[in-house]
Structure 1
Amino acid sequence: MSAARRTGSRAGPDPRWTLAACVLASSLSFVEGSVLNVALPAIRASYGASAEQVQWVVNAYLLPLSALLLLGGALGDHYGRRRMLVGGTALFAAASLACALAPDLAWLLAGRAVQGVGAAMLLPNSLALLNAAYEGERRGRAVGIWAAAGAGSAAIAPLIGGWLVDNVGWPAIFYINLPLAAAAILLAVLFMTESHDAGAGRTDYAGALLATGGLGGLTYALTLWSAYGSWSRGAVIAAAAGVAMTAGFLWVEHRRGRAAMMPLDMFTGRCFAGLNLFTFLLYGAFGAAMLLIPYVLIAGGGYSPVQAGLALLPLPILIAVGSPPMGALAARMGPRLPLTIGPLVVAAGMLLARRIDVGSDYWIGAFPAIAVMAVGMAIAVAPLTSSVLGSVEEQHVGMASGFNSAVARTGGLIATALLGAVLGASGAALIGGFHAAMIAAAVAAALASGIALTMLGTVKMRKM
């Protein structure tokens, strides 16, 4: 039974308006995640930023998004999902405007952090609103449209962003968020029915604060270490603080039991723990590749931002086309085999990325690596999503999905924090560091394959 019916709220006049609003709102995060990578070299040159500062242009957004996703969903359950969607979208738009007008790097980083908070509010509630507006097969189709729209946004965003960077300037990549946000808010206010489930709300503020602090301390420590190649006093203090707050977070979650933001009893199942370790390794490796490849193509290969966007285009297309049939195949044969093979294919693509060099031809260097990685992710993405939902009891499905999304973004967060030495290099050193990073990423992806083979057992697949 949908959340809307559990709380007695009436159905909206036409759920397609809800779908349209949710697609527009969630596209903000999908666009932001893919468009920024082609603008990073221009942002660095504009502010004369160091490698450490470039890392924080990415991680200032990923940190609050990773830490607050679960809290954002719980607040929507408790206070109203439409309210949180509208509030998160408005906050994201205001932060985007602040980023576009940023007079210095500190202002830009603050805007990026607020964008992350807004995304943590809107993303989980967009899916929850779809879940409340549709039932049965119509719900599955609606979620499929939502996911396809995200893939389409990710495909076209680097091209639009690259053109804007070349012809208008990098601040314009933040202006494109404003009409999307305005349309989403207008549709939500006019046509969307409120949905909430006060009994399921987990307003675990202490857990959210400690999770943010713990991730922040560890991320800052790794950023300092990777940028300067040594453990300075500041890095050690940040790491110690991060570990202490992470331990505090686990203690708080244990004390709160089922009322926790992240109920620890979900991890008693070997399969759920394995799937999330798998997600951390695979998405961390993939996030590192997606940050470095366009950066190296622009800074080391002489590509324009538009050319870098075009270079990445096969990736979202192949994932969008390949994921549905792989999901159907995995439903028949089980997810263990595709989750074992997919990361190995991704790892092979990352090793092929070592063919990318100064002056290398796109079709010989970048394209094979991008295409092979895309095929590997297409094999793994749909079975992973269904397996996460099937690894927990019915009442934990929403929590499991949100936590897995947070783990995927945390993998990208940690990977970005480790790339300072590469981002701080130039010329031959940049290419050499990139090749070494791709080998490390391939090892992480191969480890994910090993996790699938040894820890997943016979996980069931849950249909949407």
Structure 2
Amino acid sequence: MSRASEGTPVPVSFCADADRRIILWAAILASSMGFIDSSVTSIATPAMREALGATLQQAQWINAAYLLSLSSLVLVGGAMGDRFGIARIFSLGILVFVGGSLACAAALTPEQMIAARAVKGVGAALMVPGSMAMVSRAYPRAERGQALGLWAAASTLTTALGPVLGGMFVTWGGELGWRLVFALNLPLGLAALWLIRGRTPGDIGKPGVRVDILGGLLATLGLGLMAWALTEASAGPMIALAAVASLAAFLAWEAMTPAPMLRLAMFRNRTMAVTNLVTFVLYFALNGVMFYLPMTAVSAWKVTPLDVTAAFLPISVLIGILSAPAGRMADRWGAGPLMAAGSGLVACAYAGLWLAAPHGQFWTNVVPLTALAGFGLGLVVAPLTAAAMQGAEDGEQGAASGINNAVARVAGLIAIALQGRIAAAAYGPGAPGFGVTGDGPAHLAATGAAFGAVALTASLMAALAAVLALMLARRVR
């Protein structure tokens, strides 16, 4: 099986000792571009819709195109790093990601933006797996934990500050502002490429490693058709059937190919299967709310994009603060109870958003509730990662991590598509439409009903995650 990272011994000459910290900072810069992309795009979506004249469905595709290519190709990207060299594929991913970012900055139509976002997703699929793998292979085992800790801390900081920076640009810069948000990836990407250049002479790849290209294509086709069926009301049942057939063909291929991107036998482990199911339903809840909240706040509640970041910032900060102690508590009591408690808090927070949505009181209702959700997620993230790792066999932890990451991305893709249909139905047929800036009590009430439906669905999914997590309470220690 081709895997992005599974602890395979690597020559000592992967890099010189003096280059390790430089490689670490290159990985941090590149990871930062990928981590902040979705949150910044969510905040900029209302301004982009207005500038590009995008419909609600096109706005969904602007985000879904990125998640589609990333989630379906991230495991292939990891295998390509094993085959051709991690640093080489990592650098290629940066180039593709930066090129897609510049195309986003220059887009003049929704279709151009959607295509550019898909290109960025391909770049991220090549770049993201190589980031942690490069750090892991550059440092000896005794120093690896500290290096990965610094990588995680810096990535958390940039993830927290990214939406704030994006909100400032959009609020004060108008259309030029959101275009600059994408263009900023150019200096970051060039800096990462300059840092990594010539510093990994031992990264020669392994010619015998196979890359499951057909699996990646089938996954892309199946997920793309599914997103189409869920997003477009006019798609019809044949598109849904084609999506199911494509995904069935993907699973059949993964079961028979000698080098699958997804080894299905791993899911025979109950802990592995349940952990990824918890990941799916919880990240479905998170992505649905965090994508449609900025659209609601800007279009109906008259909140600026900069102020909207107050709903994002507590989540990143609390995850960063609570992950280490939550990991220690998971080691002591098991991952299941913490995952259940954290998911339950998220469910309560989103139920509160459902009740608060008709009133539109952003600072007094929405921000405290998103902070409560951030507290719950802070309890979940580290134990969830630990459970995914503990559910894997020896030597497959890297593959388990990649699968868990891909599941979270697929959950976001499906959530944005399906929740958009739910929001549009709850808003009703009247003008101007959900997510479009408007005035008057009718628009405020319809938007509140639409976002309330999104929040209620997310609350139910988070509650389901809590119930599923209890199944792990006695198994993951």
Match of 1:351 in 2: 351
- Within the alignment, does 1:118 sit opposite 2:119 as a pair? no
Deviation at 1:378, TM superposition (A): 0.3
Do the aligned partners of 2:348 and 2:459 also contact (CA within 8 Å) in 1?
yes
Q: Aligned partners of 2:48, 2:15: CA distance in 1, in Å?
A: 46
- Within the alignment, does 1:252 sit opposite 2:253 as a pair? yes
Match of 2:183 in 1: 175
Aligned positions of 1:53-452 closer than 5 A? 53-168=58-173, 169=175, 170-195=178-203, 198=206, 201-225=209-233, 232=234, 234-257=235-258, 259-357=259-357, 360-421=360-421, 422=423, 424-425=433-434, 426-452=443-469
Do the aligned partners of 1:274 and 1:456 also contact (CA within 8 Å) in 2?
no
Q: 2:56 aligns with which of 51, 54, 61?
A: 51
Summarize the Cα distance change of 1:196–1:222 in structure 2 as closer, same or farther, 3 Å threshold.
Answer: farther
Do the aligned partners of 2:255 and 2:264 also contact (CA within 8 Å) in 1?
yes
Q: Aligned partners of 1:321, 1:88: CA distance in 2, in Å?
A: 30
Deviation at 1:289, TM superposition (A): 1.3
Q: Aligned partners of 2:341, 2:59: CA distance in 1, in Å?
A: 34
Which deviates more, 210-219 or 27-36? 27-36
String of CA shifts for 1:277-328, please: whole Å, max 9, x gaps: 1100001101111112222111121011111123422221111111111111
Give the root-mean-square deviation of aligned CA atoms. Answer: 1.9
Q: Aligned partners of 1:319, 1:344: CA distance in 2, in Å?
A: 16
Corresponding residue SS for 2:15: coil
* Structure 1 residue identity aligned to 2:63: V
Q: 2:471 aligns with which of 445, 449, 454?
A: 454
Structure 1 unaligned segments of length 5 or more: list them: 226-231
Q: Aligned partners of 1:439, 1:358: CA distance in 2, in Å?
A: 13
Match of 1:9 in 2: 13
String of CA shifts for 1:53-86, please: whole Å, max 9, x gaps: 0100110100000000100000001110000110
Do the aligned partners of 1:339 and 1:449 also contact (CA within 8 Å) in 2?
yes
* Structure 2 residue identity aligned to 1:9: S
Do the aligned partners of 1:73 and 1:125 also contact (CA within 8 Å) in 2?
yes
Q: Aligned partners of 1:337, 1:273: CA distance in 2, in Å?
A: 17
The count of corresponding residues between Structure 1 and Structure 2 is 452
Q: Aligned partners of 2:420, 2:388: CA distance in 1, in Å?
A: 32
Deviation at 1:199, TM superposition (A): 7.2
* Structure 1 residue identity aligned to 2:241: A
Q: Aligned partners of 2:208, 2:462: CA distance in 1, in Å?
A: 36
Summarize the Cα distance change of 1:119–1:271 in structure 2 as closer, same or farther, 3 Å threshold.
Answer: same
TM-score, normalising length: structure 1 = 0.93
Which deviates more, 401-410 or 202-211? 202-211
Do the aligned partners of 1:74 and 1:200 also contact (CA within 8 Å) in 2?
no
Do the aligned partners of 2:12 and 2:202 also contact (CA within 8 Å) in 1?
no
Q: Aligned partners of 2:77, 2:399: CA distance in 1, in Å?
A: 11
Corresponding residue SS for 2:256: helix
TM-score, normalising length: structure 2 = 0.91
Which deviates more, 114-123 or 189-198? 189-198
Summarize the Cα distance change of 1:359–1:345 in structure 2 as closer, same or farther, 3 Å threshold.
Answer: closer
Deviation at 1:130, TM superposition (A): 1.1
Do the aligned partners of 1:253 and 1:262 also contact (CA within 8 Å) in 2?
yes
Which deviates more, 94-103 or 164-173? 164-173
Corresponding residue SS for 1:221: helix
Deviation at 1:362, TM superposition (A): 3.6
Do the aligned partners of 1:129 and 1:195 also contact (CA within 8 Å) in 2?
no
Summarize the Cα distance change of 1:45–1:356 in structure 2 as closer, same or farther, 3 Å threshold.
Answer: farther
Do the aligned partners of 1:301 and 1:358 also contact (CA within 8 Å) in 2?
no
Which deviates more, 349-358 or 333-342? 349-358
Q: Aligned partners of 2:164, 2:10: CA distance in 1, in Å?
A: 43
Q: Which runs of 4+ in 1 moved over 4 A?
A: 1-5, 357-360
Q: Aligned partners of 1:219, 1:104: CA distance in 2, in Å?
A: 21
Deviation at 1:173, TM superposition (A): 1.2
Q: Aligned partners of 2:121, 2:80: CA distance in 1, in Å?
A: 16
Do the aligned partners of 2:354 and 2:455 also contact (CA within 8 Å) in 1?
yes
Q: Aligned partners of 1:66, 1:454: CA distance in 2, in Å?
A: 26
Summarize the Cα distance change of 1:322–1:187 in structure 2 as closer, same or farther, 3 Å threshold.
Answer: same
Summarize the Cα distance change of 1:443–1:16 in structure 2 as closer, same or farther, 3 Å threshold.
Answer: same
Q: Aligned partners of 2:448, 2:134: CA distance in 1, in Å?
A: 45
Deviation at 1:105, TM superposition (A): 1.4
Deviation at 1:2, TM superposition (A): 9.3
Do the aligned partners of 1:7 and 1:196 also contact (CA within 8 Å) in 2?
no
Q: Aligned partners of 2:69, 2:161: CA distance in 1, in Å?
A: 25
Deviation at 1:137, TM superposition (A): 4.4
* Structure 2 residue identity aligned to 1:20: W
Q: 1:19 aligns with which of 24, 27, 44?
A: 24
* Structure 1 residue identity aligned to 2:253: V
Which deviates more, 210-219 or 424-433? 424-433
Deviation at 1:153, TM superposition (A): 1.4
Deviation at 1:359, TM superposition (A): 6.3
Q: Aligned partners of 1:108, 1:66: CA distance in 2, in Å?
A: 19
Which deviates more, 415-424 or 205-214? 415-424
Match of 2:437 in 1: none
Corresponding residue SS for 1:364: helix
Summarize the Cα distance change of 1:273–1:414 in structure 2 as closer, same or farther, 3 Å threshold.
Answer: same
* Structure 1 residue identity aligned to 2:251: L
